[in-house]
Structure 1
Amino acid sequence: MKLSIITINLNNKLGLANTIESVANQTFQAFEYIVIDGQSKDGSVSLLDSANKRIDKWISEKDSGVYEAMNKGIQLADGEYLLFLNSGDLLHSAKSIENMISNLTADIVYGDLVFANEGSSSTYYYPEKLTIEFLFESTLGHPSTFIRRDLFKQFGNYNTNYKIASDWMFFLTCILKGHVSTRHVNQVVSVFDTNGISSDPKNQPMIREERTGFLKEEFPLFYEEHLKHMKCKNTLGRIQSSKGFRILKKLGVKKFQ
């Protein structure tokens, strides 16, 4: 089997229903669909019972957080590639999987992603080539990224000691240390529900703490160079926003551009 789609859920019945519907509406259906529920109390389990014609495997039991739930999905999956589409996330169109399935030719294949937030949305277009700067500052969106399942055997599952940034750490480990192959496909794959923990402003300090600790431990040299780069970048940004720089630019002084 080429693909397994994995959805994790905890007390998000409405989001889960929408995710299942977007999966069930795909024009291409030759994939495995797995749902991992964290023993929800809001009726999600009843929904899973009623929707089991499209769901190939599902469990509902307590877990320690999102990464333990995702790891359970990995263990149950049989597909060559995995796509994590968590409750509330949607496949962008009925042809999202049909458009991507023939493009699964690298270890990590990523498309583009719509961020949805309270009635508004914006599309994020990922770079064709992944750089250290991009990976340090940003990450690939898991609802639009197809991961070869064997990578989890090679590099290990998501580290449950981290609560928010473990998927980012996994991508850095695979790409920077493992030199796995990556491919960008110019297709919008999914709509990301920004109500999750990684999008909550209150969790940003934890994300920075987890990322910084990981970078210092695993990529100390890269991290020091990254800090120097960011310092220069911030300094340049302040210069470019100054009144004097804007005047020089209007006068055509190219040295500063």
Structure 2
Amino acid sequence: MKFSVITATYNCEASILDTVKSLREQTIPREDIEWILVDGGSTDRTLELIEAQDFHPDQWVSEKDNGIYDALNKGVRMATGDFVGFLHADDMLAGPGILYHIGCAQKNSGADAVYGDLQYVRPLEQGGFGIVRHWTSGIYFRRKLKWGWMPPHPSLYLKREIYEQARLSNGEYFDTSYTCAADYDFMMRILGKYEVEPAYLRMVLVQMRVGGISNRSLKHIITKSKEDWRVIRENKIGGPHTLAWKNLSKLQQFFRR
């Protein structure tokens, strides 16, 4: 099985080396990883640092884009692997065997998608990372969608053909009219409209540094809630209770380690 792992970057010199290291340490053969780098035209040392590593992108582009979802669309168009996932510049695969375990889960289940758990982490002064939030996804049931359930998007790996089936009318995969909820919209489409049945891998697949796009400020959280509500209405899955439970369910993540 070949994995296409897409990394979107823009001025990420402070974190990109941890991302590269987590990919380089994967135990599956290097030829089974297609690393795709989509850079938004970084003006810091992001590209210089990547070039200095012994693990380089198989495909890459660096140019001005129209936001994160435009970058993700570019990455998916470039992908040639059997399974496609995202590993952003603030994220790390949680261990050397992550892609191996995802591949085993897919082969054993025959599922078109595999997802797992996610941890939000913060760098520690003494080195390493401390866990801030622990997102335990749980087993998928379609009825959960009406109660705000979603797998963590960075932990979701899909067969490439699912992306092709779920294209929008303009040919894109992620709706760029959203600024921070196009991943939620995409997952609502594949799980709701296309009825993809994902397999749950009961382990932490990704560690995400706090301060990412979805938890940057109160203003951004309000914008995210407005866009989530639009996703719920346009996909016709759930109602006000869906949005309420989607936000309230995050509270328990702070008490799980």
Same fold at TM > 0.5: yes
SS in 2 for 1:223: coil
Give me the CA root mean square deviation.
2.3
1:215 match? 232
2:188 match? 172
2:255 match? none
Give the CA deviation at 1:217.
2.6
Instruction: Could you tell me which runs of 5 or more consecutive residues in structure 1 were left unpaired when the two chains were aligned.
Output: 235-257
The answer to whether the 8 A contact 2:166-2:190 is kept is yes
Q: Give the number of the structure whose residues are more often helix, by fraction.
A: 1
Q: Separation in 2 of the partners of 1:153 and 1:217?
A: 20
The answer to whether the 8 A contact 1:24-1:54 is kept is no
Give the CA deviation at 1:192.
1.4
Q: Separation in 2 of the partners of 1:97 and 1:110?
A: 11
Change (3 A) 1:230 1:11: closer
Change (3 A) 1:23 1:68: same
Change (3 A) 1:135 1:40: farther
Question: Highest CA radius of gyration, 1 or 2?
Answer: 1
SS in 1 for 2:196: coil
Whether 2:152 is the aligned partner of 1:147: answer: no
Q: Deviations over 1:85-118 (max 9, x none)?
A: 1002011111111222121231221011111135
- The within-5 A match list for 1:64-143 is 64-104=66-106, 105-117=110-122, 119=124, 120-121=130-131, 122-134=133-145, 136-143=147-154
Give the CA deviation at 1:135.
6.2
The answer to whether the 8 A contact 2:146-2:238 is kept is no
Q: Deviations over 1:22-41 (max 9, x none)?
A: 10111113211111110001
Percent of aligned pairs with the same residue? Answer: 27
Q: Deviations over 1:131-171 (max 9, x none)?
A: 44456524321221111211221111011110100011111
- The within-5 A match list for 1:29-68 is 29=29, 30-51=32-53, 53-68=55-70
1:184 match? 200
Q: Separation in 2 of the partners of 1:143 and 1:66?
A: 13
Which amino acid in structure 2 is aligned with residue 227 of structure 1?
H
Q: Separation in 2 of the partners of 1:223 and 1:125?
A: 22
Give the CA deviation at 1:215.
1.8
The answer to whether the 8 A contact 2:138-2:202 is kept is no
Aligned length: 229
Q: Separation in 2 of the partners of 1:210 and 1:123?
A: 24
Q: TM-score, normalised by structure 2?
A: 0.81
Give the CA deviation at 1:127.
1.2
Whether 2:238 is the aligned partner of 1:227: answer: no
